[in-house]
Amino acid sequence: MNNVLKIMAVGSLATLAFAACQQAPSTDMPPEEVIQTGLSNLSEVNAYSFDISMNADLQGPEGQPPAEVDFNMDAEGSIDINNPNDPKLNLKMNGDFSADADGGSAEFELRMNKENVYMNLMSLTGEGQVEVPDEMVSMFVNKWWTLPVPPEALEELSNTLPQGNDENLTPEQREMKELVDNTNFFKDIEYVGYENVMGVASYHYTANLDKTAFAEFITEAAQIAGESISEAEMQEINNGLEGIEFNGDMYVAQDSMILNRVSGTVTIDTEDPNNPTGTVKFDFIAGNFDESVVVEVPENATPVPLDQLFGAPGMTTVPSTTEIQVEGVEDVEEIQIDPSGQGELEAEFEL
């Protein structure tokens, strides 16, 4: 019996020792530096998987419809832009919303490579004044469709994506990255403990949004983009931020020091009766950093028949050539829509 007790005691001590080893101590870096480093490192990751959820419970402005708005969304997938000329995306998303007696829901999957976008609308419903014609559902739901990615669109997208290391960034992208790296968006950061995020040991912190720093970031980001914010617009931004609070949890991977999870609640509570109030809760989880992403091409995907889509119930049809009047434009000679389904839109204007 004594031997049994000794074995149990040794086993218990071993278990406790193992658990203690798993409870990694807080890093020696200041909390603000950990979060800032994690955010900066995340901005340099060009491939990862993600899981996102969002729930909103809002009340409309006083005396204005809708009185109640609810929104729920879940998304998961992966993205890879290591090669800007060959972007890859896998995305599954479902969501629903209600605005008083009206509402609807949808579920879809999207895949993209450098050649095509593939879409599958699994479900689409509407309630109240949100009508979804049965003909449209039977025509498009639960089928894989494909749209080609025009070379010029791919080139434009590639030019906006990070081009590898900092040396390949455009001057504007480099300035924006430096601004993000040097902005502390959060305050009141406190270390909570050590947790796993997608199987990765991570530091856990709580934090609140630093609204002053966020407003300054908006101003400087606009300047980098070649735009300016007037004093009136800045005052409007500050007034809007006064009624908004963000309280959240932030996680930074222990080994890579990449921000891999942000969850929290945005509370909107303004004194202006013309503004909505309520809460928005969200959770963003990322992992599998810099791992290659594979886009599986669906079998028997059908090209989207744009000519039929524009002629579907509930859709507005436009003749291939028509004359229209636009306020502020003296004459619109013609608008041409290619009826072959390629989706080309050409217009000639006289001002």
Distances (CA, A) of 346 to 148, 320, 342, 349: 18, 10, 12, 10
Mean pLDDT of 124-152: 90
Is 95 in the same domain as 137? Answer: yes
The answer to whether the beta carbons of residues 281 and 264 sit under 8 Å apart is yes
Count CB-CB contacts under 10 A for residue 7.
Answer: 10
Confidence (pLDDT) at 145 = 95
* Residue 331 predicted with pLDDT over 50: no
Is 214 in the same domain as 338? Answer: no
DSSP, res 23: S
The answer to whether the beta carbons of residues 149 and 112 sit under 8 Å apart is yes
Is 41 in the same domain as 83? Answer: yes
21-76 residue pLDDT tens:
344 455 779 999 999 999 989 988 999 999 999 999 999 888 888 999 999 999 99
Confidence (pLDDT) at 11 = 45
- Has residue 230 been placed in a domain? yes
- Has residue 99 been placed in a domain? yes
**CA atoms within 13 A of residue 291's CA, in its CB half-sphere:** 9
- Has residue 254 been placed in a domain? yes
Looking at the DSSP bridge assignments, the partners of residue 208 are: 187, 247
Residues 6+ apart with CB under 8 A from 339: 307, 320
Beta strand 302-303 with 144-148 is parallel
H or E segment to which residue 144 belongs: strand 144-148
Is 249 in the same domain as 350? Answer: no
- Taking the alpha carbons of 16, 21, 23, 29 in that order, is the dihedral positive or negative? positive
Is 166 in the same domain as 81? Answer: yes
Is 328 in the same domain as 215? Answer: no
168-222 residue pLDDT tens:
677 888 888 888 888 899 999 999 999 999 999 999 999 999 999 999 999 999 9
For the chain, how many structural domains are there in total?
Answer: 2
The tokens for 236 are: 């409007």
Range of the domain at 322: 318-351
The answer to whether the beta carbons of residues 199 and 254 sit under 8 Å apart is no
If pLDDT is split at 50, 70 and 90, which confidence band does 143 have? very high
Is 171 in the same domain as 34? Answer: yes
Q: Which of 203, 206, 175 is nearest to 190 (CA)?
A: 206
Q: What is the DSSP string of 278-309?
A: EEEEEEEEEESTT-----PPPTTPEEP-HHHH
Percent of the chain with pLDDT over 70: 77
Is 85 in the same domain as 33? Answer: yes
Is 80 in the same domain as 218? Answer: yes
Is 342 in the same domain as 257? Answer: no
Alpha carbon distance 64, 130 (integer Å): 19
The answer to whether the beta carbons of residues 339 and 319 sit under 8 Å apart is no
Whether residue 66 has a cis bond before it, omega within 30° of 0: yes
The tokens for 319 are: 């003749």
Distances (CA, A) of 77 to 74, 88, 143, 287, 297: 11, 11, 19, 11, 15
